[in-house]
Structure 1
């Protein structure tokens, strides 16, 4: 006698009853990019449907996000003036601090995660203060200004800090700075396993963060390294991270699963710009069933072990989930 697996597949209701992995609108975190000015909503050519927006437009977008049932956004800032140390990111009047106050004032229950880095704020496009001798980022000098940036985010209303610069010791540095400033209950989502990936290309268009020289391989991870990825995440957990992240997601499903198996912390998958752009290009070319492929990709992240998904598809996915109710 052989096993008849089709017994549980024949009827739609039965398939739904035994489904192992499920998407929920509360799984998603939607990225937003704020720029100075007003009345600005500039679509990014490499990322159809993704925009740089002034704060007034960001507030409209947040209203739409809340209406869709999405519980969280991750906020990126693009200042008008950049310099060698990203001074705008260290100012209470900077683009992120100003946006945080306005968003939290109007949408107090929306969970606002802030990306903590310097690549969008520096005139050289790297993730911190430069070490000119080695033509890379000075790790420890960058930790100092990262701590200042984290406290500014916290004071202006951030609900969670997400440091993306891949500096060694960043979690313990931020945890100490936040605790010392009275923000001991503010969680940190670590970009704990962030690879030096070609999938980030379109993001650099929207965030205006392309390095003016070299690349980020001296501080982001080698895509070939699985064990190092696990080690990075467990180290961030030991330093006090509350959520771990794998970025990118689609080519690293094995890493998501390995890390999920190694930790009891929630794991977040960052479905990055290149992954988004590929599906949009496939849809435009008419070679894929876009909605089905997109939702299959999202469920793949959940099946691999992700509890949360940062995705530019979040609004579309929320609409599809609403229709399915």
Structure 2
């Protein structure tokens, strides 16, 4: 690594640190994620600082986050979650069906082709959907990246404020998973063993092209080992904050608005689709999750919010929600999207280009 890259990494880390400290001092929710993200976004896009953040650092942060999500699971939790499969299928299908409908509106009024609009509207994680879009012929990758980045930004800004509203705080009757009761005290030997296993799992996942390998690989191996091998240890103090920090910087560097056409129009629809999806998740958390699943509204909302496992899991940790329920719902949606959405996108894409070719003839 040359000196120029080292300087840019140091500058990026310093800007992110300033954002984290500032957000912590003014008591903004999830400061170690939001602070670096907003600081990097402003420094990079407004002040035009040269910024660089190696993917390896972000991957290491995702490995730790994957472990932090996996340690919430034990036999009792997983058995209870199996009973939720019908409900998970119902709410996930509803969210995806609405996304398909809203994609039609975006395509019609936003002057975006339907395959691109559909790929932009699917309520999946940014990294996973971008991987799909890269394999889809004719999909505008810049538009898809822009829509999903705006959604990530909206989620990590709005969701923490929503879940901190006083009237949403969980009652004593709400189902909850406190990480300190699930895990014992910190065991460095167990923790180090898991970190080695998580790293190996992430690399193997990457090799076999597992989606979101640096998050899913550690999560899967942690759950399996926690159930059959060595009991997972609690996290060393501050490690999750550091992971939030490096992921927050990564998110802040993702948006490239200069590559877009019709920026104002696309920005409007990106914000509108994000707000509507968040609103639908909030309503479902009240109507379905609270009264049928008997979770707190916060847990239900974070379980259904159209973000990734990492962001929702981080926020769940911060507000002492049921991280196991949040993770299993988010994981189910990822699997649902991986299994059903790529074939749907392929069919829609072929049909769209067939109709386009016929119109030309």
Shorter-chain TM-score range: under 0.3
- Higher fraction of helix: 2
- Higher fraction of strand: 1
TM-score, length basis structure 2: 0.23
TM-score, length basis structure 1: 0.24
